[in-house]
Structure 1
Amino acid sequence: MTDSALRRSAEAPPADERRRLDAVRRYRVLGTPSDGAFDTVTSLAARIFDAPMASVAIVDADRVWFEAAHGLDGVTQISREPGGCASAFLHDAPCVVPDTLSDPRTAAHPLVRGGPGIRFYAAAPLTTARGECLGTVNVLDVRPREATEDQMAALADLASLVMNELEVRLSAARTIAAERSQRTTAERLARALQRALLPPTLPVVPGLDTAAAYHPASVDEVGGDFYDLFPLDDGRWAFFIGDVCGKGAEAAALTSLTRYTLRAAAIYDPDPCTALANLDAVLKSEHQGDAPRYCTAVFGVLQPAPGGAFAVSLAGGGHPPALALRADGTAELVSTTGGQLIGLLPRPHFVQATTRLLPGEALLLYTDGLTEARTSDGAMLGEDGLARRLSAAAAQGADGLLDTVDKLLAELGTGVSDDTALLALSVPSHRTAPSAQENR
């Protein structure tokens, strides 16, 4: 960023600054206690830069509030000093100061001249869809240094992730407020909060049909099942599905933290087992003498392959296996047996598996509300029972597959006693089915 651009940002017209401060108020983050979600971002930022300090900072009229801070023990806010960090907060692109003492914009700043003696500063802005800058994700070091293009690009990705989470929270708050204004029953509030915890839509994946559904067991209680599907920056796609412990508001908070952490972990390292291990570490760090916060989950990565196929790598932590539906009418459980609960055990073991989806084949991921449902004879449906019921459903595509599951849940009726989340991934059949010898 040029000196003139930085000066222009520091001298924003009063009307623009009023609009920016209005946006800060709109997102309601000033002075709120950290819930752990953004701590993952600061930890990742510090690791990516190999730096001792990082923060997610929101800029008010006269102070800088740290919504999350890594390596800045006990610091929750600082005064908004002229120049230096204050001016960097207000620009619209990532910036870096390799040596703060040698740069007239930062040399006099208290954090540079005094403790902790910052000598390096990098920041990526938190910019709303309307163009207002709320603050930044920052990386700080006590030694002068350079930043690579990859590090700055990753910092910008983390800032986008924080902004997405703020948008989700704002949307959830507005949804709940709107529901309250119309009807303040527990059923409507629960539905509004549940919707806010799940992706409103799934992204379009080239060469793949996708569908998802959520079936609550109770209309007036928020469950803890979750799912997501999102792109990685190398042409691959990540997905996950899981179930947190408990119900109600505590489960909702844990669901939000879990989804956000898995997305953040995928930016740093999308390896399935590593993503679950990072989630395990975050859940344990959030447990401070209260009841344990744990979940089950499957995290996977889709890699486009020749012939329209997709290579699938996934890892499981205490979660039911995925169900692969083959073009020949068979069903195959993609087992991650042995994967342990996330966030509960001292050193949990996660199990990784791979498979291949060819044209005309599908993968179904689900939570245990489906397989633990009771059939008419009182027995649990189970994984094998589900496989038998769906073995010929691959040709129906993702939407058709979920329609079949919907009918199955309706048939089970009162035998369904827990929430069920579903995520279907289907490769359209556009060529002759491969021979039995083709590797999966």
Structure 2
Amino acid sequence: MMVTGSALHPGPAPRPADDELRLAAVDRYQILDTPPEGTFDKVAALAARIFRTPAAAITTADGYHLGTVNVLDTHPRQVTAEHLQNLAALVMGQLAMRLSAVRTVTAERQMRTAAERLARTLLPPAPPQVPGLRAAVAYHAASADEVGGDFSDLFPLDDGRWAFFLGDVCGRGAEAAALTSLTRCTLRAAALYDPDPCAVLANLDTVLKDEYQGTDPRRCTAVFGILEPAEDGSFTLAGGGHPSASAVRADGTIQPLPVTGGQLIGLLPEPRFTQTSTHLAPGDALLLYTDGLTEARTPSGPMLQEEGLAAHLAAGTRDDADDPVAGIRRLLDHLGTGVNDDTALLALSVPIHPPAPAQETR
């Protein structure tokens, strides 16, 4: 037993000079006020067997003493320092493994939280009100843990027209998120500079090549479109390596819009982009989607593909004339786990019955 102070002035034992650092190490290892752990119980049992004592206990490697390994007996005995050092090393090894596991779990939680926050910033906002049209967007995330690279946007230009785009960058995770952010900003800026759809995609191609020059190429697919004033109902689309857009007609006809001839953006020395135009009448809709939809597995096994999507759209045309995305949402729910990739949707439709103008109040 250690006795400190004096007979006349007893006092507490002095604190070691490094006690604050020791306590900080104890806190870092997260070993105070924790429930019993089986690993340390086994170490205590091993200590009792080695020293042939009735009981042993652990009361808790930066060079600080974090706690003690106690072996308890009913009579005095001699023990070797080597045995005690081996037990201490065993306990510290377990503490180090435990700390590593805690840090790993904490880091995964932080990464998951960061990914969720980043995903929310990349998701399409509620679409703006386009005169004479109804706009709808949807995003289906295949994984809650990883950020995908699907994106869409809809915004007005200075001359009364509207621009919109939808696309998919290659990859997942933080790199895909950074590329998605760059792609969206570039498409918006390029549309303000020169809104010709093919020129916009060409500008994006140049930016991606300049940004990632000397590294692995970063590529994406996209459809970019210009909507003339809503009264006209005319659209001009350009595509770069992206699935076809679809014009969903009021009579149930599904018209693929051939923008699939365009090549991947950001990859080839001189890519070619294709352009097409269409007109929407009342009850018609324009639907853009990423390949997570058509590559989804149906309950019977094969992929949905464009033919299956067209059949689904044709069957639900009357019910979803004013909101074609509603039918796609039901389809995604029906496909369930067959959807193994993120899916972005953008639909622009001309209502059959336009909303009545607001009545003036007197």
- Aligned pairs (5 A) from 1:22-171: none
- Output the amino acid matched with 1:405: I
Cα 1:199–1:411 change in 2 (3 A) is closer
- Output the amino acid matched with 1:372: E
CA contact (8 A) 1:210 1:398 kept: no
2:243 to 294, 315, 320: 320
2:310 to 372, 387, 412: 387
1:222 to 147, 158, 169: 147
1:270 to 175, 192, 195: 195
How far residue 300 of structure 1 moved from its aligned partner, in angstroms, is: 0.2
Higher relative contact order (CA closer than 8 Å, sequence separation 6+): 2
The yes-or-no answer on 1:415 pairing with 2:338 is: yes
Residue 298 of structure 2 aligns with which residue? 375
CA contact (8 A) 1:398 1:424 kept: no
The yes-or-no answer on 1:232 pairing with 2:157 is: yes
Tell me the distance in 1 between the aligned counterparts of 2:312 and 2:245.
15
Tell me the distance in 1 between the aligned counterparts of 2:323 and 2:290.
19
1:337 to 247, 256, 260: 260
Q: How many residues align?
A: 247
- Output the amino acid matched with 1:223: G
How far residue 289 of structure 1 moved from its aligned partner, in angstroms, is: 2.3
Residue 177 of structure 2 aligns with which residue? 252
CA contact (8 A) 2:284 2:321 kept: no
Structure 1 gaps of 5+ residues are: 1-182, 432-440
- Output the amino acid matched with 2:209: K
CA contact (8 A) 1:280 1:343 kept: yes
Residue 289 of structure 2 aligns with which residue? 366
- Output the amino acid matched with 2:260: T
Tell me the distance in 2 between the aligned counterparts of 1:214 and 1:417.
13
CA contact (8 A) 1:360 1:394 kept: no
The yes-or-no answer on 1:212 pairing with 2:137 is: yes
Tell me the distance in 1 between the aligned counterparts of 2:239 and 2:334.
29
How far residue 190 of structure 1 moved from its aligned partner, in angstroms, is: 2.1
CA contact (8 A) 2:320 2:327 kept: no
CA contact (8 A) 1:298 1:315 kept: yes
Backbone CA RMSD of aligned residues? 1.8
Task: Please state whether the residue corresponding to 1:304 is helix, strand or coil.
Answer: coil
Give the TM-score normalised by structure 1: 0.54
Tell me the distance in 1 between the aligned counterparts of 2:193 and 2:317.
34
Tell me the distance in 2 between the aligned counterparts of 1:316 and 1:408.
25
Identity of aligned residues (%): 66
Tell me the distance in 2 between the aligned counterparts of 1:398 and 1:201.
20
Tell me the distance in 2 between the aligned counterparts of 1:317 and 1:331.
21
Give the TM-score normalised by structure 2: 0.65
- Structure with the larger strand share: 1
The CA deviation string for residues 4-50 of structure 1, in whole angstroms up to 9 with x for no partner, is xxxxxxxxxxxxxxxxxxxxxxxxxxxxxxxxxxxxxxxxxxxxxxx
The yes-or-no answer on 1:403 pairing with 2:326 is: yes
The yes-or-no answer on 1:347 pairing with 2:270 is: yes
- Aligned pairs (5 A) from 1:180-199: 184=109, 186-199=111-124
Q: Which has the larger radius of gyration?
A: 2
CA contact (8 A) 1:239 1:299 kept: yes
